[in-house]
């Protein structure tokens, strides 16, 4: 997975334990008046102290200028080249619902939408209808049946739904299988799904048949009279962290999508933690079990506040996280990584491409973060500016889990 040929011959099983805490949307950007980032504004004495005892650096989530979604942002931190290991939108939505897809299944993201009598789409999101309205529309869609596949429709939220096609046999892994019916813009017509390979014609036929039947079922509905389908994908088969790193990893997160992403890498997952304190409690009990040696812990509030464009809330979310640091240190992992999947500057109210501070702490590391956990201070950290996918290699190295390369 990491683009180091023969990495699986370098990794070795040891008793040391790695804890990777991912602060979603960790990085930010400078405020117009103060010229300080959210992290610099936040009062984070525990993180600052930790920076003084850690190897520090900045990570580029995917590539310069590229703004990642949650999928590539996390996979990179797990050491997977996010350009090589991609997950389709349908699968990500399924993971977000906590579903487990098997090799016979294809997941598809659907939108309820509105088109005029000429078929031209006027609103790809059907005025963002409420879940209450759309749940009745979802019910209509459950009546549809298509050749070669069993269909299952579930509400995601508002105008969004998930369609799962289940075949009798394993679906061969072509990517992408077929083209989207969603043209991506208002003012255009819905598209016919085209097979990308001759073998995927039956999938395109099923999709097109589903869309055609849905049109009849919805044609007189004033909330939404059509559907748009995209991200037609199956659960990908990634090399496992077990095989590649010789780790026994476990993922702990409050939101199903992050657990789903963890699962794609071969992680066991701990469900039923609705917030970070619960996650931490779960970690405390699970770390005592000898079996596991890699722990992924997910902290969501910083990203949520950043996406809302709420600078104060983002600063607060970072300060709240800081208070958990003594507890996190107490857990006693041999290697503690604190990193982010991407930046979410409050001033942009969105994910961004900016580099993200991270640290690696062990008994051996010394401080090079200039006493401040921030983008600016970590520029001069000892690790420098690296691709996020390399953080995992450094974690393994610090854990003594990488043998010498060559003689």
Instruction: Report which of 180, 226, 184, 185 is spatially closest to residue 204, judged by C-alpha positions.
Output: 180
Residue 187 near its own copies by CB under 8 A:
no
Q: Decide: is 380 part of the binding site for its own copies (CB under 8 A).
A: yes
Is 127 in a helix, a strand, or coil? helix
CA pair distance 165, 152, nearest whole angstrom = 7
Select from 97, 188, 349, 386 the one that contacts its own copies (CB under 8 A). Answer: 386
CA distance 389 to 68: 13
Determine if 364 is a binding residue for its own copies (CB under 8 A): yes
Binding to its own copies by residue 369, rule CB under 8 A? Answer: no
Which x/- pattern over 200-239 shows residues binding its own copies (rule: CB under 8 A)? Answer: -------------------------------x--------
68 lies in the binding site for its own copies (CB under 8 A): yes
Pick between residue 167 and residue 231 the one whose CB is nearest to its own copies. 231
One residue of 15, 32, 169, 274 binding its own copies per CB under 8 A = 32
Q: 381 near 369, Cβ under 8 Å?
A: yes
Minimum distance from residue 109 beta carbon to its own copies (Å)? 8
Cis-peptide, bond into residue 176, ω within 30° of zero: yes
Residue 15 engages its own copies in binding (rule: CB under 8 A): no
What separation, in Å, do the N-terminal and C-terminal C-alpha atoms of the chain show? 24
| Three-state secondary structure call for residue 256 | helix
For 30-48, letters b (16+ CB in 10 Å) and e give bbeeeebbbbbbbebebbb
Q: Does 324 bind its own copies (CB under 8 A)?
A: no
Q: How many CB atoms lie within 10 A of CB 13?
A: 11
Min dist CB 101 to its own copies, Å, is 15
Q: Which stretch binds its own copies (CB under 8 A): 81-89, 150-158, 242-250, 319-327?
A: 81-89
279's tokens: 């996650």
Rounded to whole angstroms, how far apart are CA atoms 322 and 317?
A: 9
Residue 339 interacting with its own copies (CB under 8 A): no
Residues in CB range of 1: below 8 A, 6 or more apart: 7, 79, 80, 81, 84, 85, 238, 239, 244
Least Å distance, CB 323 to its own copies, is 27
With CB under 8 A as the contact rule, the residue among 172, 243, 284, 405 that binds its own copies is 405
Please, are residues 151 and 220 in contact by the beta-carbon 8 Å criterion? no
Cβ closest to its own copies, residue 223 vs residue 376: 376
Among 70, 244, 361, 374, which residue sits at the site for its own copies (rule: CB under 8 A)?
Answer: 70
Per-residue binding letters, 83-122, with its own copies (x by CB under 8 A): x--xx-x--xx-----------------------------
Alpha carbons 351 and 137: distance in angstroms, whole number: 32
DSSP 295: E
Q: Which of 64, 219, 222, 288 binds its own copies (CB under 8 A)?
A: 64
Select the residue interacting with its own copies from 132, 219, 291, 366 (CB under 8 A).
Answer: 366
308 in contact with its own copies (CB under 8 A) = no
Residues in contact with its own copies by CB under 8 A are 4-5, 10, 29-30, 32, 35, 58, 62-73, 82-83, 86-87, 89, 92-93, 231, 347-348, 350-355, 364, 366-368, 375-376, 379-380, 382-386, 390, 392-397, 402-407
């Amino acid at each position: 997975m990491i683009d180091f040929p023969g990495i699986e011959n370098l990794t070795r099983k040891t008793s040391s334990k790695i804890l990777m805490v991912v602060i979603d949307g960790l990085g930010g950007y400078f405020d117009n008046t103060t010229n300080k980032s959210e992290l610099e504004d936040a009062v984070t004495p525990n993180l600052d102290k930790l920076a003084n005892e850690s190897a520090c650096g900045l990570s580029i989530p995917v590539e310069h200028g590229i703004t990642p979604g949650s999928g590539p942002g996390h996979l990179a931190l797990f050491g997977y080249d996010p350009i090589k290991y991609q997950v389709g939108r349908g699968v990500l939505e399924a993971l977000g619902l906590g579903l487990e897809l098997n090799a016979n299944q294809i997941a598809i993201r659907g939108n309820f939408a509105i088109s005029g009598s000429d078929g031209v789409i006027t609103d790809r999101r059907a005025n963002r209808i409420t879940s209450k309205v759309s749940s009745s529309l979802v019910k209509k869609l459950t009546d549809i049946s298509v050749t070669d596949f069993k269909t299952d429709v579930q509400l995601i939220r508002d105008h969004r739904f998930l369609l799962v096609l289940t075949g009798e046999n394993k679906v061969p892994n072509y990517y992408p299988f077929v083209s989207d019916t969603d043209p991506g813009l208002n003012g255009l017509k819905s598209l016919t799904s085209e097979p990308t390979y001759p073998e995927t014609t039956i999938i395109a036929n099923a999709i097109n048949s589903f869309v055609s039947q849905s049109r009849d079922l919805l044609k007189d509905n004033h909330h939404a009279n059509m559907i748009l389908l995209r991200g037609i994908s199956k659960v990908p088969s990634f090399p496992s962290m077990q095989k590649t790193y010789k780790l026994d990893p476990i993922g702990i997160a409050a939101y199903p999508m992050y657990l789903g992403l963890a699962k794609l890498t071969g992680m066991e997952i701990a469900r039923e933690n609705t917030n970070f304190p619960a996650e931490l409690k779960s970690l405390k009990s699970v770390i005592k079990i000898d079996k596991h040696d890699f722990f992924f812990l997910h902290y969501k509030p910083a990203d949520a506040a950043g996406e809302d464009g709420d600078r104060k809330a983002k600063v607060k979310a970072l300060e709240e996280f800081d208070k958990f640091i003594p507890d996190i240190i107490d857990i006693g992992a041999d290697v503690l990584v604190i990193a982010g999947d991407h930046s979410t500057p409050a001033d942009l109210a969105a994910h961004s491409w900016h580099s993200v501070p991270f640290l690696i702490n062990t008994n051996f590391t010394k401080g090079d973060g200039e006493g401040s956990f921030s983008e600016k201070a970590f520029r001069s950290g000892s690790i420098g500016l690296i691709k996020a996918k390399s953080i995992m290699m450094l974690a393994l190295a610090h854990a003594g889990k990488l043998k010498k390369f060559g003689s």
